[in-house]
Amino acid sequence: MGEAQGEISSQVKFSLLLGICLASVLSALAIGGVPLSLIEIVRGEASKLDLTVFSEIRAPRVILAATVGASLAVAGAVLQGFFRNPLADPGLIGVSGGAALGAVAMIVLGSSLALPATFAPYTMPLAAILGSLCVTGALYLFSAYYGQFRIVTVLLVGIAINALSSVGIGIFQYVSNDAQLRSLIFWMMGSFGRAHWVTTVPCVLAMVSAVLVLITKSNSLDKLQLGENEAFHLGVDVKATKRDLVLLSAVCVGAGVAVSGIIGFVGLIVPHVVRFTIGVRHKPLMIGSALTGGSLMVLADLLARIVALPAEVPVGLVTSAIGAPFFLWLITKVKP
């Protein structure tokens, strides 16, 4: 009886989270500098301008925001479980720093490469993904050097890469001109203003695929919480599981940073909010984090778009304003 009530309660909570996510998406599609009537669009009664705003500007932006939010939140839930650290963040393993360095390098050096105009929309996302792949490759090289995929090695490499990335970004800021510096700083604060279908679709597919595979590995992650020896005796391939969790988290973070810039605190605060309402088992935690992270990012981007019309506030400032107080509260609850 108790299990049945618990299952019904979980279904109600997931339904509520799904409803909030859908309501957030619909609100973000309708509200903005150009208000849109979704009913008129569905009926085919909207003006040509409204249809253009909806299909070419608003829709790719909202879809990208929802996917990036879900991806970062799931990566945060996985890494917190993987490192057994409630303060773990997707940027912890250095992927955000590597992706940021790649994107910043393209912002500053892209004009001197004389690339064909056809490739222009893809250059910065590809550079960011290349940066995240370089970080992932470094993780592999160091773990192979030590003979096994150790959590301590991943953490130390991540700290080193973040430090090196900061140095590289600082150098590019120093050598950039005024226009490049403005674009660079705005991108580093996080923004979905560059969302276009040509870059949104491949990155969304990469993030959704990584999230779905991570959810399939939730049972193995639950067993890892018991300890590596216990997980091994329960049938978990510990080395392969840890490798896959880090790789897939890198894809989630790298693809997100590639198209939106650095957006902090989502991967930190969302998993904790979901744990308070749904529990600690990783499958419901990942699904709940995806829905909550998508809702939070869409609403944060909506606020960033309308709070200072006709200007736009970087969405990273909004998430930081929400996340920083929560982070301070969380620190007071974590035992040293």
Distance CA 189, CA 98 (A): 16
Could you tell me the two tokens for 18? 């799904």
Provide the residue type at 252 as one letter. Answer: C
Distance CA 52, CA 32 (A): 14
The domain that holds 151 is classified in CATH as 1.10.3470.10
- CA-nearest of 260, 312, 317, 313 to 33 is 312
Angle between helices 197-216 and 59-83 (to 10 degrees): 30
One pLDDT digit (tens) per residue for the chain, 336 residues: 445 555 557 788 889 999 999 999 999 999 988 899 999 999 888 899 999 999 999 999 999 999 999 999 999 999 888 887 777 777 777 888 888 888 888 888 877 776 666 776 677 777 887 888 788 777 767 766 666 666 677 777 778 888 888 899 899 888 888 888 887 887 788 889 888 888 889 889 999 999 999 999 999 999 988 888 888 888 888 888 888 888 888 888 888 888 888 888 898 889 988 988 888 899 999 999 999 999 999 999 999 999 988 888 889 889 988 888 877 877 776 554
What 8-state DSSP symbol labels residue 91?
A: G
Domain count, the chain: 1
**Domain span including residue 257:** 2-333
Judged by phi (left if over 0) then psi (alpha if -120 to 50, else beta), residue 59 lies in alpha
Q: What's the whole-model pTM score?
A: 0.88
- CA-nearest of 295, 245, 307 to 81 is 245
Give first-to-last CA distance, the chain, whole Å: 39
What 8-state DSSP symbol labels residue 84?
A: T
pLDDT in tens, 175-224: 888 888 887 887 788 889 888 888 889 889 999 999 999 999 999 999 98
Provide the residue type at 266 as one letter. Answer: V
pLDDT in tens, 137-153: 777 677 666 666 666 77
